Amino acid sequence: MSLAPEYLTYPQRSYGMDHDRYDWSMLADRKAVLWPGEARLALWINVSLQFFPMNQQGVPFPPPGGMTMPYPDLRHFTLRDYGNRVGIFRVLEALRSRGLNASFAVNGQLAERTPALVKELAGIGEIIAHGWNMDTPHYGGLDRDTEQKQVADSLAALRDLSGQAVRGWLSPGRNESEHTPELLAEHGVDYLCDWVNDEMPYPFRTSKGPLTALPLSTELEDRFVIQNNLHSESSWQEQVCDACDLLLGEAESRGGRLLTLSLHPWLIGQPHRIGKLEAVLDYILAKDIWSAHPSDIVARWQAQQ
Amino acid sequence: MAEPAVMKEDPGYYAYWPYRNRPALRWPNNARVAFWVAPNIEFYEFNPPTNPQRKAWPQPYPAIQGYGIRDYGNRVGHQRQMELLDKYGIRGSISLSTALCDHHPEIIAMCAERNWEFFSHGIYNTRYTYGMSESQERDMIRDSIQSIHQHTGQSCAGYLAPALSHSEHTLDLFAEVGSELFGDDAGFYTCDLFHDDQPTPISLRSGKRFVSIPYSLEMNDTIAFVVNKVEPRRYGQMLKDCFDRLYAEGEKSGTVMCIPTHNYQVSCPHRLKAFEEALEYITGHNDVWVATGREIAGHYLDHCYEDALADIEQKETEAAA
């Protein structure tokens, strides 16, 4: 019994990362970043608008929040559709009444299905591309031409309907193939929100030109905390408030910090949950924050590098 | 393919030795609890070779989510946790993926400067022991101990197998390689066994004096947050409850509490507060010995090990009679 010799050789064992996508860098060692008005904390709220097809293929894995029952899974199809019909309007009102900015990450196919909604969102905040639908994941081994079409179609649908340049990208289920960053760079994307390895923007390499990685926290996301971890709504509220306090404290000596809130209207827009979002927003709003669109955060950061 | 033809029913490392009526265990200054924090500082590879028995990542390469959050631990989480341990006067006992000495020497330097302990957690946390021959595992362990010595000057005292992947020989090999390299000054404790709240002697094929140190796996942040999906503030409460009980019982005979952490779990902004409250609470008690794994194992081997062996033997004889 033994393993192949390659299992005990370590070709990447040297300084820095074991890949070329970005450089090794510790947050605490970086130059302080100043946000507008010397706010200590930038707040980025991202609301994901998603289409989960009922004929889900699940190749090579099903999307988080996708169908789980035998076809036709009316239960999950309609529960997700609820977010785009009902939940989103509760979320929008919570933001509007507090004067908060947000981005909307929209599946390309949802833009086709609900053009009026996307036009309305484009008038409110920044549109980010969120792939074609939740069942078209970007993954290792995906054919490059297929992926190229998904990227192109998603961006075209959203740019056309929103009238915005659409420079940001969040992959469905946050999965990527080995080609995704190059394809995004080729299609006019400037910043990428899939990676969760930092709390501030950082430079990201592709062979087709540089991107900026703008991490959107999964650990604090409504879906991850409430649906994946099965924590209570109250606990989610506490967790966001605790995170807000910690980052504010750190910003006192280390420069501006970034709090990201990733929201799903099909989950947080439910009647028993929306109040927790409102309470979270009230708590954060009372602090020294800059409520910003993601492209403004990237631009502000970039100007200081 | 990789499992031995005959699997053992019991690993055979220790005899049954009931917790009650053991000889009283005394810590320095009559402390009731020996308390240690074991930050796992790990390197997970983006594209590791495949192990026949365990997948490193759930998705095909590139699995950016799992890789990314672990990288977050080193980029963001480490210094946050380190500052907190500094604040409460705790020296970490690092369970180290030793390739991190090459990838991120800045982290090693910061910890060495604080006189933290480094012990071996394998080379990468994406290289599992499953399927290795004895000589392959021996080479991997030797490489990890040598890396620690080369980069920190420390002779590695403890072991926690990479990703808790073991073979039947893991503890034997660790003890033997430790002796080959540094005599009795290396390879004398393990964190891999969770059978007790006190240190216990471990019998190995070499007969080396070797001890298991409680690593409190239920208090491990990854077990709490990822496996058991515990809410952050409840985790803080669990730590306090665990401590309270061990502190009370430690009045009669000393106990050990460990908090095994990961810089990508406990250092997240929404979790650090509850962890800090627990550290403040625990270190606010008088009769706590804030120690490292090596110090706990060393004290036990020097002052308690022989009494324990004698008591175990006597109780086994009584039980057989």
A13 touches chain B (CB under 8 A): yes
pLDDT at residue B3 tops 90: no
Q: What local confidence, expressed as pLDDT, does residue A299 receive?
A: 98
Among candidates A24, A175, A220 on the partner chain, residue whose Cβ is nearest the Cβ of B104? A24
Torsion of CA B228, B234, B237, B239, to 10 degrees: 30
pLDDT at residue B91 tops 70: yes
A286 touches chain B (CB under 8 A): no
Q: Could you give the number of structural domains in chain A?
A: 1
Task: State whether B273 and A174 contact (CB < 8 Å).
Answer: no
Q: What local confidence, expressed as pLDDT, does residue A139 receive?
A: 98
Rounded to the nearest angstrom, the minimum Cα separation between A82 and chain B is: 27
A44 in a domain, yes or no?
yes
Chain B residue at shortest CA distance from A240 = B270
List chain B residues with CB under 8 Å of A245: 273
Contacts of B140 (CB under 8 A, 6+ apart): A8, B122, B123, B127, B129, B132
Average pLDDT over residues B217-231: 97
Going along chain B from its start, the domains and CATH numbers come out as 35-320 (3.20.20.370)
Chain segment B139-174, per-residue pLDDT in tens: 999 999 999 999 999 999 999 999 999 999 999 999
Q: What local confidence, expressed as pLDDT, does residue B57 receive?
A: 97
pLDDT classification of B321: cutoffs 50, 70, 90: confident
Chain B residue at shortest CA distance from A179 = B62
Chain segment B234-274, per-residue pLDDT in tens: 999 999 999 999 999 999 999 999 999 999 999 999 999 99
* A-B contacts at Cβ under 8 angstroms: 159
Q: Is B44 helix (H, G, I), strand (E, B) or coil?
A: coil
pLDDT above 70: percentage of residues in chain B: 99
Chain A residue at shortest CA distance from B49 = A7
Chain segment B94-140, per-residue pLDDT in tens: 999 999 999 999 999 999 999 999 999 999 999 999 999 999 999 99
Residue-level pLDDT, tens digit, chain A, 305 residues: 899 999 999 999 999 999 999 999 999 999 999 999 999 999 999 999 999 999 999 999 999 999 999 999 999 999 999 999 999 999 999 999 999 999 999 999 999 999 999 999 999 999 999 999 999 999 999 999 999 999 999 999 999 999 999 999 999 999 999 999 999 999 999 999 999 999 999 999 999 999 999 999 999 999 999 999 999 999 999 999 999 999 999 999 999 999 999 999 999 999 999 999 999 999 999 999 999 999 999 999 999 99
Q: Is B280 helix (H, G, I), strand (E, B) or coil?
A: helix
Task: State whether B232 and A235 contact (CB < 8 Å).
Answer: yes
Burial of B309 (0-12, 13-18, 19+ CB in 10 A): middle
Residue A14 burial (CB count, 10 A): 11
Task: State whether A4 and B49 contact (CB < 8 Å).
Answer: yes
Name which of B7, B69, B270 to mutate to probe chain A: the one with the most chain A Cβ atoms within 10 A of its Cβ: B270
Q: What local confidence, expressed as pLDDT, does residue B1 receive?
A: 44
B-facing residues of A in 229-258 (CB < 8 A) are 229-232, 235, 238-240, 242-247, 250
A244 in a domain, yes or no?
yes
A205 in a domain, yes or no?
yes
Task: State whether A12 and B1 contact (CB < 8 Å).
Answer: no
Q: How far apart are alpha carbons B179 and B108 in whole angstroms? A: 24
pLDDT classification of B85: cutoffs 50, 70, 90: very high
| CATH number of the domain within which A201 lies | 3.20.20.370
Average pLDDT over residues B207-232: 97
pLDDT classification of B2: cutoffs 50, 70, 90: low
Name which of A170, A194, A246 to mutate to probe chain B: the one with the most chain B Cβ atoms within 10 A of its Cβ: A246
Both tokens of B93, joined, read: 């006992």
Closest CA to B127 of B170, B92, B97, B84: B97
Domain extent, residue A125, equals 36-303
A174 in a domain, yes or no?
yes
A192 in a domain, yes or no?
yes
